[in-house]
């Protein structure tokens, strides 16, 4: 019983059920003959974020078009031949791999099958109706995900501002001071991880219909952090524990509330380059910190 209580019905689950119900209702009102495809399209198009739903929905509509078109062509060339059907599936898979529509492959293959195997009226009309099935399911799912408790909620923005910025700031501190003695590969791995978060959140924030202050603030943080990426990558390439100049030492102290301790060696030309990029990073971090206060 405790194991069952641990798992709650999430909003995405509820919205998926609602999407299927609304899609099938529309299908019934339009008197479509194959409502199952409408429901399937609604299910597979519900994603964990609005941006993912939009991209997945677009790709599934395009993928369904490919499946219907290939199914139509193959059914006219050599109908009811199962080996030819298998070749058609290969073509559908190949085209999806070319265009990078892997998530829409299953739905496209299903549409190909139902169009190829159709034996009653006009296959062209049937193929167009199957496109309409998919379009209804995808659009309903996208609209419900966008307008009903959208996934890019305030908690995501607060996490962005209160966590990702702090983590990136800490990584920069550790890289400059080498306090945790991490090698460059570790820094690169962590930077790439948060870059993926930045890209996804920027797309989500761009699509935020409410334009709340929290989303604008989060977008600002992401944008500024994105600007320091090249400077940070340059510091990783230099691969030294730097000797910061006086200006950067003051910025370091202001940013981290601690004195900078320089390594025991003579400064080199590489330190000059390092200080140039470090200065840009420090100023951007202070700019973000001032914005978040």
pTM (predicted TM-score): 0.58
Residues 193 and 279 placed together within one structural domain of the fold: yes
Looking at residue 195, its pLDDT comes to 60
Residues 142 and 159 placed together within one structural domain of the fold: no
Looking at residue 121, its pLDDT comes to 79
- Report the domain count for the chain: 2
Give the domain-ending residue among 99, 120, 147: 147
Weakly modelled stretches of the chain, pLDDT under 50: 1, 153-154, 209
Residues 7 and 140 placed together within one structural domain of the fold: yes
Residues 54 and 158 placed together within one structural domain of the fold: no
**Residue 69 lies in domain:** 2-147
Residues 102 and 180 placed together within one structural domain of the fold: no
Residues 131 and 238 placed together within one structural domain of the fold: no
| CA 255 and chain centroid, separation | 31
Residues 108 and 172 placed together within one structural domain of the fold: no
Q: Find the largest Cα–Cα distance for the chain.
A: 85
Integer-rounded Cα radius of gyration of the chain: 27
Looking at residue 153, its pLDDT comes to 47
Give the domain-ending residue among 86, 118, 147: 147
Residues 11 and 136 placed together within one structural domain of the fold: yes
Residues 109 and 233 placed together within one structural domain of the fold: no
Residues 142 and 163 placed together within one structural domain of the fold: no
Residues 238 and 210 placed together within one structural domain of the fold: yes
Residues 245 and 272 placed together within one structural domain of the fold: yes
């Amino acid at each position: 019983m405790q194991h069952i209580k641990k798992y709650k019905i999430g909003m995405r689950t509820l919205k998926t059920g609602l999407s299927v119900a609304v899609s099938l209702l529309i299908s019934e009102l339009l008197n479509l003959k194959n409502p199952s495809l409408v429901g399937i399209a609604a299910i597979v198009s519900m994603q964990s974020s609005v941006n993912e739903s939009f991209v997945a929905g677009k790709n599934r509509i395009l993928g369904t078009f490919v499946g219907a078109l290939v199914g139509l062509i193959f059914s006219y060339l050599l109908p009811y031949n199962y080996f030819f059907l298998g070749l058609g599936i290969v073509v559908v898979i190949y085209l999806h791999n070319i265009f990078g529509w892997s998530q829409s492959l299953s739905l496209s293959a299903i549409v190909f099958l139902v169009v190829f195997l159709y034996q009653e009226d006009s296959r062209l009309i049937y193929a167009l109706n199957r496109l309409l099935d998919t379009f209804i399911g995808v659009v309903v799912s996208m609209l419900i995900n966008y307008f009903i408790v959208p996934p890019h909620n305030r908690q995501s923005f607060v996490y962005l501002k209160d966590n990702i910025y702090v983590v990136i700031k800490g990584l920069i501190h550790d890289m400059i001071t080498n306090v945790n003695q991490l090698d460059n590969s570790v820094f690169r791995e962590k930077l790439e991880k948060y870059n993926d978060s930045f890209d996804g959140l920027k797309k989500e924030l761009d699509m935020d219909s409410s334009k709340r202050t929290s989303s604008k603030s989060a977008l600002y943080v992401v944008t500024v952090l994105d600007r320091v990426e090249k400077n940070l990558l340059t510091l990783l390439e230099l691969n030294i524990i730097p000797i910061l100049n006086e200006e950067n030492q003051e910025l370091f102290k202001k940013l981290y509330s601690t004195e900078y301790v320089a390594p025991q060696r003579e400064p080199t030309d590489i330190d000059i380059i390092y200080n140039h990029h470090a200065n840009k990073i420090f100023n951007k971090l202070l700019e973000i910190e001032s914005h978040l206060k």
